[in-house]
Structure 1
Amino acid sequence: MSIPDRTLLEWLEEPSTERGLHFADVRDAWTFRSYAELAGLTLRTAEALRRRGVRRDDVVVIVQRSSPGFVAGLFGAMAAGATPCSIAPPFAFQRADDYDKHVSHLFATAAPALTVCDEDSLDHVAKITANLGLPAPVVFGELIDGVAPAPRPYPPAESALLQFTSGSSGFSRGVRISGAALRANVTAMRRWLDWSPELPGIAWLPVHHDMGLIGCLMNIITTGCDGWMMQPEDFIRSPLRYLRCISEQRVGLAAMPNFGLAYILRRVKPADLEGLRFDSLRSVILGAERIDPQVLEALEELLGPHGFDRRALLPAYGGAECTLAATGLPLGEGWTARAPESGAAGSPADARIVGCGRPLEGVGISVVDDDGAPLPDGAVGEILVSGTSLASGYVGDAGTASGTSIGAETLRTGDAGFLHDGQLFVVGRLGDGLKVHGRMVFAESLEARLHELGVPERRVAVLLGVRDGAPTGAVVLENARPGWKRAAHEVLSDALTDARLLAVDVPRGGLAVTSSGKPRRRVMWKALTEGTLPGTTGPLIAD
């Protein structure tokens, strides 16, 4: 079946009254909003924004949870000819001071003409905008009160979206996405997944994250299928509810990082799944972080007796500068894991790198050496991306810490990987590695090995570099349990041989992570070298 290329706002023209979005409520029930209702709300928002003085190419920041108001704010800003930018609400951060520091930078970079938020976020966001001298935020309900819908969308902005990188290497960077790039990426994903309106999707990822925003929400809406929308805390509270919805509603598409699958495995037991079926689930997009093959195997074991097909697991690779997706495993191929053939880290975990699929339509992938020369299959180098989905550029100070840069036609990702038979295998960040006896060791590989040995994700980070003139590996353990240091000593001493090994004990919440939970390794490394990393630092000795 041919999957058509649709504009981002085409769904507003003849919206369905039968299909739409189903939002999880506080009870074990769902609130339905048809696409016809959402279209009317979107055009009301577009007109309301124009009446508030928003003009073409202005930035409109949206600070809301996944909701009808968020949908209308996002697409309403586009329909007003403005550039929407989704920023996390305060609930996404454990500590208010972390939120203020992070979000103040985002607001300063975005410089919005208007900020639209929900009532729960208003007071907090108002303080931030006031400190920066930006216009005061407006609650969504007040924005559209008494406003009739615009008859049609206004001329589109040059940039269809302003989104931010994860900030794992420091401050998040603003990335401008053109309408052509966003349309090309959404269309490429739809064709990759063979996604049609008859195939329902489900999402729990936050809409301030590109995987939740573009990979889930935008794809669901522009495709015109039924979408079942949960908040992140809904999923955390009850992953079984998520699985029940997939079974009962015959959901075909889902997406999440590796930690989401691992969380399901921790919380859901085989007996909980009695009577459920997962044979409708044909695509589970996996991205945003390194994928653990043991988790994939365990998920197959849990859901397989209920009709789940392992070929539904679709690892993918991309990033904010790619709009979202650059590669994805084709339907029906089945995931594989392998080791690089040369230039690889010495960690046992490298034998289990999960492939992230093949380039999507309109995307080019290459792996090059330090001089930019293409490398043969199996050789580790820097991943370069080209094609129609690349971002237009950065907003404000692009910075250099991440190692990622957008050229005229090519994105230098700062990621290390290798190709095998046209499939991409991602090893880790180039700035998060250490050369040992001529071979690169990557922090992500060591962390993956620690997870295999029982150290939970999001409780450990490995930092690699040269400190005081000596090659150094440091393991940061959050609220360490017995046996964790023994596992860390085993893994690091084996992979790093003569390097100096350190352990940093931090309390709960002491591990520096991004809003999506990725470890901010280079931020922590910088603090370690400056002596400002919180916690207790000492030699890594097996406990």
Structure 2
Amino acid sequence: MQATGSSQGLALRKADFATLREALDYAAQGETGVNFYNARGELYATATYAQMRSDAIALAQRLLGLGVAPGARVALVAETSPHFVRFFWACQYAGLIPVPLPATMHIGGHAGYVAQLRGLIENCEASVAMAPAEWMPFLQEATDDIALDFVGTPEAFDDLAPASRDLPEIAPDSIAYIQYTSGSTRFPRGVVIDQQTVLANIRDMAEHGLKMTPEDRFGSWLPFYHDMGLVAFIMMPMATQRSVDFLGTQDFAMRPRKWLEMMSANRATITSGPPFGYDLAAMRVRPSDAEKWDLSALRVACVGAEMINPEPLQRFAEALAPAGFRSTAFLPCYGMAECSLGISFAGLDEDVTVDHVDAEQMQHDSVATPLAPEEALKDKRRVARYVDCGALLPSFDIAIRDEDGGDLPERHAGVVHLRGPSVMSRYFRDDAMTRETLSEDGWLNTGDIGYMAEGRLFVTGRKKDMIIIHGRNIWPEDLEYLAKTQPGVNYTDAAAFSVPSEKDQQETAVLVVQCRERDEIKRARLSKTIASLVRSEYGIDCVVELVPQRTLPRTSSGKLARARARLDYLGRRRAAAERAIPEPIDGAAAEHDRAPIRNIA
């Protein structure tokens, strides 16, 4: 078996198609395709886009043979395998809507995963559901008492009788897929992305963000149920006629070196991941490994999916320098499922840039006042650091607004609002959330907090207050719900968010809970119980802070202001550190940041 090559065999086009189906029809005329590697680094499946198209059309006829209505949802457990890709493209030909479902189980275990699948399947009102054999028992349990037209493994679908009618026409404004923005079982939000919407974003990213070249080849371990894995590594390579190599997400977690080995062997030029992914790989790399790999072709290593911490990138660059990896390949970016994927990209072939600002002024006034490097080094407790996420893609308009909707000037942090052709049409069957998030004139309230400086975007807070721990999305409402199950904790008494840990700057979940109880033993028991509930259900550690009534801030309309609650918590933590740690004596200031991180003076 041989992987598909990087030579396209046809004139390159940058996603200038009306539909994904039209894009695959064109890519099928070339020689590129998809390749899948196992945990041992062995190529076990490969298909050109021509083969993928042929297989997808055959499966589309079988899906239509079920008699499902046009636009019906097809729930797909998105394991990193050829099955998911084939089903995703089959839905495009059949006029059905694929809905990727997570293929991962955390410490919450069997029951939690089944409940998650069930919640998402019910929310999207799926007519059909598929899971590979190893995930089928969970899907079967999740759908036991839900009336679906068909539930089965890929092999079961292949045994279906095909329809005898022609494939339907697909309009550019029809739904391409539904992307769930989190794994929440209580508050699922399905982002509806149309054909022309995702193709506009792919075109923008290919031309302006990645500045793609004819030699480009993609390599990824990202999950297919995540917007970056789905759009950047399934749709974008196909729509730009490039080959892509996949390593399973779980295989990467166990053997991250196989990702690097795969990219070295295939001369990958584009990859992506969250900071923790680069850090995990760096920790597992031995000097002898790096010396025998060749990552000199890797010109783009996108960094996103969570708040960007520069330290893991430094460690990765140092560990992989013997393999020819250049630190300037790192490309910080900002994106979200509600905008298909990409929104802003830092410059290619540039060092990662960090803005050092006055933390106290940011906390109290939401103003990012820059600090000179020598000031920042005197007292690091005074400094907040934000990575430059670059300039917006040219199709986007941006506004930074305060809580009342007023536009803010440069270096004033507020809610990021965006408008452009890549913005979602709505949340699936959630009119209230759609109205809250998307204005009539097309402005998307991202829920992210950030500021602009010299045309560059700096993101300082989570998307819609999303908590992201090791790449896993957790809605704050879910953690707050667990706190509110405890006696004496009312509906308005809890706020969840994440902060960099004091120990290693990795993200840590925090629950601030307003508590009326004064007995210290009972207070300690409450904190321990809430932390245990979070660990049991979500498999993460959580700091629980009990505070007096009326501590949690609210907006002018009475809503919980999590971003402000987060800043207040960091202020309390900083004040506690200042009381506990003596001021540094002359000459004991922290050492200068190491290359390749560049500071803004």
Q: Which residue of 2 aligns with 1:225?
A: 242
CA distance in 1, matches of 2:466, 2:191: 22
CA distance in 2, matches of 1:93, 1:103: 16
Give the deviation of 1:141 after TM superposition.
Answer: 2.0
**Which residue identity is paired with 2:215?**
E
**Which residue identity is paired with 1:173?**
R
Conserved? CA contact 1:44–1:147, under 8 Å? no
Assess, with a 3 A threshold, how the Cα gap between structure 1 residues 329 and 149 changes in structure 2: closer, same or farther: farther
Q: Structure 1 length normalisation: TM-score?
A: 0.79
CA distance in 2, matches of 1:520, 1:513: 14
Q: Which residue of 2 aligns with 1:303?
A: 320
2:78 counterpart of 1:58:
no
Q: Which residue of 1 aligns with 2:37?
A: 24
* Partner secondary structure for residue 18 of structure 1: coil
Q: Which residue of 1 aligns with 2:303?
A: 286
CA distance in 1, matches of 2:25, 2:466: 45
Correspondence 1:246-325 to 2 at 5 A: 246-325=263-342
CA distance in 1, matches of 2:466, 2:224: 28
**Which residue identity is paired with 2:256?**
P
Assess, with a 3 A threshold, how the Cα gap between structure 1 residues 244 and 431 changes in structure 2: closer, same or farther: closer
CA distance in 2, matches of 1:87, 1:104: 10
Assess, with a 3 A threshold, how the Cα gap between structure 1 residues 279 and 103 changes in structure 2: closer, same or farther: same
Q: Which residue of 1 aligns with 2:504?
A: 451
More displaced 10-residue stretch of structure 1: 248-257 or 118-127: 118-127
* Partner secondary structure for residue 62 of structure 1: strand
Q: Which residue of 1 aligns with 2:455?
A: 422
Give the deviation of 1:212 after TM superposition.
Answer: 0.9
Give the deviation of 1:269 after TM superposition.
Answer: 2.9
Conserved? CA contact 1:293–1:352, under 8 Å? no
Give the deviation of 1:381 after TM superposition.
Answer: 0.8
2:87 counterpart of 1:76:
no
More displaced 10-residue stretch of structure 1: 313-322 or 7-16: 7-16
Conserved? CA contact 1:261–1:295, under 8 Å? yes
* Partner secondary structure for residue 416 of structure 2: strand
Conserved? CA contact 1:384–1:413, under 8 Å? yes
* Partner secondary structure for residue 290 of structure 1: coil
Assess, with a 3 A threshold, how the Cα gap between structure 1 residues 61 and 398 changes in structure 2: closer, same or farther: same
2:224 counterpart of 1:207:
yes
Q: Which residue of 1 aligns with 2:126?
A: 112
Give the deviation of 1:367 after TM superposition.
Answer: 1.1
Give the deviation of 1:350 after TM superposition.
Answer: 5.4
Q: Structure 2 length normalisation: TM-score?
A: 0.72
Conserved? CA contact 1:403–1:414, under 8 Å? no
* Partner secondary structure for residue 79 of structure 2: coil
Q: Which residue of 1 aligns with 2:348?
A: 331
Give the deviation of 1:469 after TM superposition.
Answer: 11
Give the deviation of 1:66 after TM superposition.
Answer: 2.0
Q: Which residue of 1 aligns with 2:253?
A: 236
Q: Which residue of 2 aligns with 1:8?
A: 20
Conserved? CA contact 2:62–2:160, under 8 Å? no
Conserved? CA contact 1:380–1:416, under 8 Å? yes
Give the deviation of 1:297 after TM superposition.
Answer: 1.7
Give the deviation of 1:225 after TM superposition.
Answer: 1.3
**Which residue identity is paired with 2:271?**
A
Q: Which residue of 2 aligns with 1:536?
A: none
**Which residue identity is paired with 1:41?**
D
CA distance in 1, matches of 2:185, 2:460: 17
Residue 413 of structure 1, aligned match among 433, 438, 446: 446
CA distance in 2, matches of 1:361, 1:150: 45
Q: Which residue of 2 aligns with 1:510?
A: 535
Provide Cα deviations, 1:232-280, integer angstroms capped at 9, x if missing partner.
1111121111111222211000011111011112222333212222221
Give the deviation of 1:390 after TM superposition.
Answer: 0.9
Give the deviation of 1:520 after TM superposition.
Answer: 12
Give the deviation of 1:210 after TM superposition.
Answer: 1.1
CA distance in 2, matches of 1:520, 1:11: 48
* Partner secondary structure for residue 461 of structure 2: strand
CA distance in 2, matches of 1:358, 1:79: 36
Provide Cα deviations, 1:288-319, integer angstroms capped at 9, x if missing partner.
11111111222222223432222211111121
Q: Which residue of 2 aligns with 1:486?
A: none
CA distance in 1, matches of 2:514, 2:41: 52
Give the deviation of 1:334 after TM superposition.
Answer: 3.1
CA distance in 1, matches of 2:517, 2:391: 40
Assess, with a 3 A threshold, how the Cα gap between structure 1 residues 35 and 303 changes in structure 2: closer, same or farther: same
Give the deviation of 1:110 after TM superposition.
Answer: 0.7
Give the deviation of 1:337 after TM superposition.
Answer: 0.8
* Partner secondary structure for residue 130 of structure 1: coil
**Which residue identity is paired with 1:62?**
L
Q: Which residue of 2 aligns with 1:489?
A: none
CA distance in 1, matches of 2:383, 2:529: 24
Give the deviation of 1:133 after TM superposition.
Answer: 2.9
Assess, with a 3 A threshold, how the Cα gap between structure 1 residues 257 and 42 changes in structure 2: closer, same or farther: same
Conserved? CA contact 1:344–1:350, under 8 Å? no
CA distance in 2, matches of 1:100, 1:399: 27
Conserved? CA contact 2:181–2:191, under 8 Å? yes
Give the deviation of 1:407 after TM superposition.
Answer: 2.1
Q: Which residue of 1 aligns with 2:175?
A: 159
Conserved? CA contact 1:293–1:353, under 8 Å? no
CA distance in 2, matches of 1:144, 1:117: 13
Q: Which runs of 5+ in 2 are unaligned?
A: 1-11, 365-379, 468-494, 519-523, 546-551, 553-571, 581-601
Give the deviation of 1:152 after TM superposition.
Answer: 7.7
* Partner secondary structure for residue 344 of structure 1: helix
Assess, with a 3 A threshold, how the Cα gap between structure 1 residues 173 and 398 changes in structure 2: closer, same or farther: farther
Assess, with a 3 A threshold, how the Cα gap between structure 1 residues 36 and 3 changes in structure 2: closer, same or farther: closer
CA distance in 1, matches of 2:261, 2:311: 24
Give the deviation of 1:91 after TM superposition.
Answer: 4.6
Conserved? CA contact 1:169–1:521, under 8 Å? no
Provide Cα deviations, 1:311-353, integer angstroms capped at 9, x if missing partner.
2111111212112221122322332111456851389485321
Paired positions, count: 483
Assess, with a 3 A threshold, how the Cα gap between structure 1 residues 32 and 432 changes in structure 2: closer, same or farther: closer
Q: Which residue of 1 aligns with 2:555?
A: none
Q: Which residue of 1 aligns with 2:363?
A: 345
Q: Which residue of 2 aligns with 1:381?
A: 414
**Which residue identity is paired with 2:46?**
F
**Which residue identity is paired with 1:8?**
L
Provide Cα deviations, 1:359-406, integer angstroms capped at 9, x if missing partner.
113112221112222222211111111111111111234676x99712
2:494 counterpart of 1:461:
no
Residue 50 of structure 2, aligned match among 31, 36, 40: 36
Q: Which residue of 2 aligns with 1:360?
A: 393
CA distance in 1, matches of 2:267, 2:165: 36
Q: Which residue of 2 aligns with 1:198?
A: 215
Provide Cα deviations, 1:130-159, integer angstroms capped at 9, x if missing partner.
323333412222213476799985222621
Conserved? CA contact 2:107–2:537, under 8 Å? no
CA distance in 2, matches of 1:512, 1:236: 21
Correspondence 1:486-497 to 2 at 5 A: none
CA distance in 2, matches of 1:361, 1:338: 23
Conserved? CA contact 1:38–1:72, under 8 Å? yes
Assess, with a 3 A threshold, how the Cα gap between structure 1 residues 291 and 67 changes in structure 2: closer, same or farther: same
Assess, with a 3 A threshold, how the Cα gap between structure 1 residues 307 and 411 changes in structure 2: closer, same or farther: same
